[in-house]
Amino acid sequence: MATVKGMDRLRAKLRALPKEAKKEIREALEKSAGEVVRMAKQLAPYESGDLRNSIGYTFGTYRPDNSNVRGMSATISDGDPDLTVTIHAGDKKAWYARLVEFGTAAHTIRSKRPGGLLNINGRLIEQVSHPGGSPRPFFYPAWRANKRRIRGRLTRATRKAAQKVASAP
């Protein structure tokens, strides 16, 4: 039977890899999420400031307060909360984030109340035509602009962690 010299050392190094890699990858994810958030805030249209203030990122499982809030999630590993980051836009005040991002189609709003809707002049009307809104994207352009850099940063972080563990005595 053949024996491999240094097998115990190799096994110890392989066991240390996940801890070291987790630390390096989390730092890379945090830096990357911060860059995407900063760019999305710069690109977001500014009126009241609520939309810009609603853009952020969260580690772990993200559950928005408002069902209109959407985010972009990046997960390394099988759903590890320490290595899952969600970049999100929208909250209770800025529930309209996705309407700004993608725009709205022209549509007619019909009254559900008997007697119609109350108009500004005090007249009751049955329906209102809305011209729609053009898209003013801020979220996905920020993601797409940084996606390549993020991939490279995560690859380098993983490689750096593996090299640290491999070079340890």
Provide the phi-psi class of 49: left if phi over 0, else alpha when psi is between -120 and 50, else beta. Answer: left
pLDDT of residue 92: 85
* 1 has pLDDT over 50: no
How far apart (Å, rounded) are the C-alpha atoms in residues 69 and 135?
17
> Span 123-140, mean pLDDT?
86
Question: How many CB atoms lie under 10 A from the CB of residue 90?
Answer: 26
The answer to whether 86 and 58 have CB atoms below 8 angstroms apart is: yes
Q: What is the distance between the alpha carbons of residues 56 and 19, in angstroms, rounded to a whole number? A: 26
pLDDT at 32 over 90: yes
Q: What's the pLDDT score for residue 9?
A: 72
Q: Which residue has the higher pLDDT, 44 or 166?
A: 44
C-alpha dihedral sign at 48, 44, 41, 140: positive
Nearest by Cα to 29 from 153, 156, 160: 153
Mean pLDDT over residues 93-111, rounded?
89
Q: How far is it, in rounded angstroms, from Cα 1 to Cα 147?
A: 50
Q: What is the predicted pLDDT for the residue at 53?
A: 94
Structural contact between residues 146 and 35, judged by C-beta atoms closer than 8 angstroms: yes
Give me Rg for the CA atoms of the chain: 24
d(CA 67, CA 75): 21
Q: What is the mean pLDDT of the chain?
A: 81
What mean pLDDT do residues 153-163 have?
A: 86
Say which range, 17-26, 98-107, 147-156, has the weakest mean pLDDT: 17-26
Per the model's pLDDT, the better-predicted residue between 124 and 102 turns out to be: 102
C-alpha 12/C-alpha 7 separation (Å) is: 9
The pair of three-digit structure tokens given for residue 153, joined into one six-digit string: 């940063």
Ranges 25-34, 67-76, 98-107: which has the least confidence: 67-76
Best CA proximity match to 87, nearest among 114, 66, 62: 62
Tens-digit pLDDT profile for residues 139-152 = 999 999 999 999 89
